[in-house]
Amino acid sequence: MGILENKARARVFYKYLSKVYDQINPFIWNEEMRAEALSLLEFPDDAMVLDVGCGTGFATEGLLEHVDEVYALDQSEHQLEKAYEKFGKRGPVHFHVGDAERLPFATNTFDVVWSSGSIEYWPDPVRTLREFRRVSKPGGQVLVVGPNYPDHTITQKLADAIMLFYDEYEADRMFKTAGFEDVKHMFQGPSYEPDVAITTVARAPEN
């Protein structure tokens, strides 16, 4: 387990990263990548949408291009403070401070559950994905963006020491173990590093 796959350490990490997050993020996860990931989703009329690990609200902005309101959750109060500056504490985004492993929402609530840049910090990804399935409506979609596993041995060892990196086979295993169906993967990245991210989209069972 990587050093940042610990909730307390991750909170401290984001306490400081939050100060520069919006300046750094576009070099790793940009608007074009966000739009490409959003194109994989279907948004029914009056869709209920959840953004888990919303951070400063970069993905939330993209989701609001498709729906009128978003429920957003993050464990970092420092990241959320930056999000409040963009959206306000009351408005189209309903913010919650919380843990992805114990979502404060009722079963069968959301048509879409989105999470980008969060899975790499989850101590138990399958447990969290099961929570995503619990709060998803039957047939609802879940999309998770995480860091793609490096190709080279040295960078693999470095990646493993820091946080969770995984390939499409591990993503497939995690989502199917968590009970999802129709699991699909797409590799994404900025022009200079095209495979930096792996985006997985899946559906909750219909019944």
How far CA 101 is from CA of 57, 128, 133, 169, in Å, comes to 20, 5, 11, 22
Higher pLDDT, 19 or 143: 143
- Residues 90-130: pLDDT tens digits? 889 999 999 999 999 999 999 999 999 889 888 899 999 99
Looking at the structure, give the CATH architecture of the domain made up of residues 7-20+45-203. 3-Layer(aba) Sandwich (3.40)
pLDDT in tens, 53-83: 999 999 999 999 999 999 999 998 988 999 9
For residue 170, CA distances in Å to 36, 177, 200 come to 22, 10, 11
In this model, does residue 16 exceed pLDDT 60? no
Helices 77-87 and 7-17 cross at an angle (nearest 10°) of: 40
In tens, the pLDDT along 17-38 reads 455 556 666 667 799 999 999 9
Round the average pLDDT of the chain to a whole number and report it.
86
CA atoms of 96 and 94, how far apart (whole Å): 7
Model pLDDT, residue 4: 44
pLDDT score for 191: 86
Q: Is the model more confident about 17 or about 49?
A: 49
183, pLDDT greater than 60: yes
| pLDDT higher than 90, residue 8 | no
Looking at residue 75, the DSSP 8-state letter turns out to be S
pTM of the model: 0.88
Q: Please give the span between the terminal C-alpha atoms of the chain, in angstroms, as a whole number.
A: 34
